[in-house]
Chain A
Amino acid sequence: MSQPAGKRTVIGASPPRIEGREKVTGAATYVDDMQFGPSLLHGALKRSPIAHGRIVRIDASRARALPGVRVVVTGEDFPGLTGLYLKDRRIFALDRVRSVGEAVAGVAADTPEIAAQALDLIEVEYEELPGVFDPEYGASPEAPIIHPELASYEVVPFVFPQPGTNISNWFKVRKGDMAQGWAEADLVYEHKYRVPHVQHVPLETHVCVAQQNVNGKITLWSSSQSPFAQRNLIAKALHIDHSRLRVITPYVGGGFGSKAGVSMEGAAVALAMHAKGRPVKLRMTREEEFHTTFVRQGLVAILKMGMTKDGRITAMHNRFYWDGGASTEYGVNITRAAGYSGTGPYYVPNIHVDSYCVYTNHPVGGAMRGFGMPEIHFGIEQHIDEMAHRLGLDPVEVRLKNCLKDGDETLTGMPMHPTGLSECIRKAAAAINWGQETVSYSSTKRHGKGLAAMWKAPAMPPNPGSSALVRLNEDGTATVSIGGVDIGQGALTAMAQFAAEGIGIRVEDVRVNTVDTDYSPYEWQTVASRLTWSMGNAVLRAADAARTQVLQAVAEAWDEDISDLDIVDGQVISYRSEESIPLKNICIDGVQRKDGTFVGGPVVAQGRFMPDYVTPLDPETGQGPRAVVHFTTGCQAVEVEVDTETGEVQVLKIVSAYDVGKAINPELVRTQMEGGAVQGLSTALLEGLILDHGVPRNPNFTDYRIATAVDAPLETENIIVEVPQDDGPFGARGVGEHPMVPTAPAIANAIYNAVGVRLDSMPLTSEKVWAALQNNDI
């Protein structure tokens, strides 16, 4: 990349969000804001009231006869299997339901009220089957089998289902000599940790509109993190040519992973295929959002570690039982990510990890911010804290001693790339005044400090691609087309910065388009904190190519060497002849040669990026040269106040320190740290879906509470560490998910520090703290 040194005026600056004005005026358009006129049909889904059962009979004749009902479809109309990694589910259940809320039929009607009435008229007879509501039990030989056809499902090569069981993926790590690891240890400690199902709660629920035109072409307006993956999965499931399915994604009201992949969108397309050209809208109620799209899957983690009396970790034997739910869009890959990250960010010589994705009759597990990492770190980071205390060691020193340094071998045998993990731990500890006690003014309140470290790699196939198009306009502004989605993280602004820097224009002169798969270039998905790194590379390459197109034309017209030319603030300048010309005069019509003819023409440039170095891992040992593209590392330190009379926990301060490689827009990086920390706090203290034999008991904001401004800490501090990523644009790597990974264990460790109780199951409610305090002499 021909970036002249010292030119970086846009990278590392913090211009405000380019879409900010639209969002503060109410002008920003989300899917539900789009107008489709009076022909719009309203879709609704008939859902299973039971967790597990055979469908004996579906009679939709009375619904079909209801005036105003235009479409009724069931599983028989669309029997094909779909799934991102493992094709194990259908758009509508065919012969069996596997969770409460699974769609068994869909209707489209003139009004939402008629659609609701039609659902009541569809008769479904079930024969109930015994259910599985715990992943450890689900993985045992006694459990009823939820997917008897598992052996026949199509699966990607890096996922290992175990037919005849409920295990949809089993990822193993075998490294070193466990017997030696235990023998070297002065303390061996085993404990079980539990993390409940959590909901993402984007403020905008899932919503989409689908319409089929007279040529059979289907357009899907979708609030999605994955317009291209939705096109791919739906096209395959419904046997539509990819070029005949168009996905348009305007602004998205939050995702956090829930809008990755396909959840209810296939049903909208299925309805539209029978709606004779009328658009069909499907919008989830908040109750539906809580359990029928995706949830963060639950986890039972059984951790066993050995440590010497001076704090060196000698061995880890970790078992992760993931409550994957009725089918597994992302669960199998979360299981894999948990496996290859299963030691936490530490060097461990002797390792045995088993990570199981288990089918249960619970809601379907999807991707959620952190992709398994908040769940496994909840146990790992408390376990290390507990062992340090038992050995009389400082938990910060133990972490610094064991944390991965440059070149250390990770659990899968990959040498750790340059990382600022130690720096993050030191800075977070210093910012919270680690080691200095603070005292509450109240005799019934105690203060405590806690800290947790983390790592997370983008969890994805080895070769997800990004691409970008840069076009220059008559006035010298640039239009950038991308296939990734700004779900609030600020991707549009970061991409504008890359384009501005690459071309040599002001960031205000860059427009970045939201996604339309007919016009936007391909992007795998907006997941894995990968856009700044992967799509950023593509945009930067496209911008660089656009710049080269301009400079080549100018060099020829002026009879100069391209190396003497530059573009600065929209002006092409020659350092040799000291000539200059504004971009706006040449980026469409070309440059005039001395003889009066023209060279150049409309500037249209492309760039793409795909990692080409990630290797497969041995299925029996999990070993391989390069498991992942990179790990973003970091640390959080918190201070809490615990009320010993009520068990209430108030988080006073959260310090976040992350190694982001290079902060393209430091202010946006800090907003990710802050927002992630509070989302982490919310899941740590308040959240958890209560499932009673598969029936969600709290799918609403009264009984499932989200942190408000009052629950958020009064003080946050966000520390940016920059150890460059070798293949990141300007050294950048992602940080979108990471800030919520260590929050819960950091708070749990701080509660222990404050009042001496150790809580091994989330959420850390005041009730649990109070109950634990009754057994302690505090």
Chain B
Amino acid sequence: MSNPAKTRVTINVNGKDLSAEIEPRTLLIHFLREHHNLTGPHIGCETTHCGACTVDLDGRSVKSCTLFAVQAEGAKVVTIEGMANADGSLHPLQAAFAEHHGLQCGFCTPGMITRAYRLLQENPNPTDEEIRFGIAGNICRCTGYQNIVKAIRSAAQVMAGQPRKEAAE
């Protein structure tokens, strides 16, 4: 079996340049998980539906199971591991998900929080309906979403009371 030629890819992940020699077919989720042990983003479907692999890429939410790592060359990526503050304190979204039971099994949580982060950057004061549409690309099978909506609403209020800043930047 022939090995496809490998190529070097460098992506800025959570504020640090990360590189790897990879096959061009390598997906971004595998670059993160297999090559750099960033196992927060999960693989739930391989078909862009469930959103467990959601990361932030140059200011947009992307499903990292549907993007080749080479497509992210030079990009700025934020994963759940880059959400907390430098001192280890939680991002308001993380704190709100824990406090308001916005999670049960926790498997969808990294993607859900990463998506909610971008949603609140785009719309800092969303209605419940806007939150629901904003996270409709992320499936949660445990919570019934009520507490996820509540957590995002609560985090928006906390964030409105403090200066906005981009995670890990």
Q: Do A and B assemble together?
A: yes
Query: Which among A32, A676, A679 is the interface contact of B42 at CB below 8 angstroms?
Result: A32
How many residues of chain B have a CB within 8 Å of chain A?
A: 56
A25 proximity list for chain B (CB < 8 A): 40, 80-81, 83-84, 90, 94
B45 within 8 A of A: yes
Q: Find the B residue at minimum CB distance from A66.
A: B1
A114 within 8 A of B: yes
A348 within 8 A of B: no
Counting contact residues on chain A (CB < 8 A from B), the size range is: 35 or more
A13-35 residues with Cβ-Cβ distance < 8 A to B are 16-17, 19-30, 32-33, 35
B1 proximity list for chain A (CB < 8 A): 66-68, 113-114, 117
B145 lies within 8 A of A709 (CB) = yes
B94 lies within 8 A of A24 (CB) = yes
Give A759 Cβ to nearest chain B Cβ, in Å.
Answer: 23
B139 lies within 8 A of A706 (CB) = yes
B135 lies within 8 A of A709 (CB) = yes
Chain A's interface: helix, strand, loop or mixed, by majority? loop
Chain B's interface: helix, strand, loop or mixed, by majority? loop
A204 within 8 A of B: yes
B81 lies within 8 A of A253 (CB) = no
A716 within 8 A of B: yes
B103 within 8 A of A: yes
Q: Find the A residue at minimum CB distance from B113.
A: A24
Interface readout for B38-49 with A: 1 if CB under 8 Å, 0 if not? 111111111101
Give A679 Cβ to nearest chain B Cβ, in Å.
Answer: 7
A557 within 8 A of B: no
A668→B99 CA distance, assembly (Å):
12
A671 within 8 A of B: yes
B104 lies within 8 A of A490 (CB) = yes
A350 proximity list for chain B (CB < 8 A): none
B97 within 8 A of A: yes
A16→B106 CA distance, assembly (Å):
14
A251 proximity list for chain B (CB < 8 A): 105-106
B108-156 residues with Cβ-Cβ distance < 8 A to A are 108-110, 113, 128, 131-133, 135-149
A255→B106 CA distance, assembly (Å):
12
B139 lies within 8 A of A671 (CB) = no
Give B108 Cβ to nearest chain A Cβ, in Å.
Answer: 5
Interface readout for A584-610 with B: 1 if CB under 8 Å, 0 if not? 000000000000000000000000000
A671 lies within 8 A of B50 (CB) = no
Q: Find the A residue at minimum CB distance from B40.
A: A26
Query: Which among B33, B39, B142 is the interface contact of A254 at CB below 8 angstroms?
Result: B142
Q: Find the B residue at minimum CB distance from A207.
A: B43
A667 lies within 8 A of B101 (CB) = yes
Give B135 Cβ to nearest chain A Cβ, in Å.
Answer: 5
Q: A203-B141, A668-B101 are in contact. List 20 more A-B contacts (CB 8 A).
A: A16-B98, A17-B103, A20-B103, A22-B106, A28-B106, A30-B39, A30-B107, A252-B105, A253-B107, A285-B46, A286-B50, A487-B105, A671-B101, A674-B143, A675-B142, A701-B47, A708-B138, A708-B139, A709-B136, A712-B145
* A-B CB contact pairs (8 Å), 24 listed: A17-B101, A23-B109, A24-B98, A24-B103, A26-B41, A33-B39, A200-B141, A202-B141, A204-B107, A254-B107, A254-B141, A286-B46, A488-B105, A488-B106, A675-B144, A679-B144, A701-B50, A702-B49, A708-B132, A708-B135, A708-B136, A709-B138, A710-B132, A710-B133
Which 5 pairs across A and B sit closest by C-beta, in order of nearness?
A: A26-B40, A253-B107, A488-B105, A678-B144, A23-B106
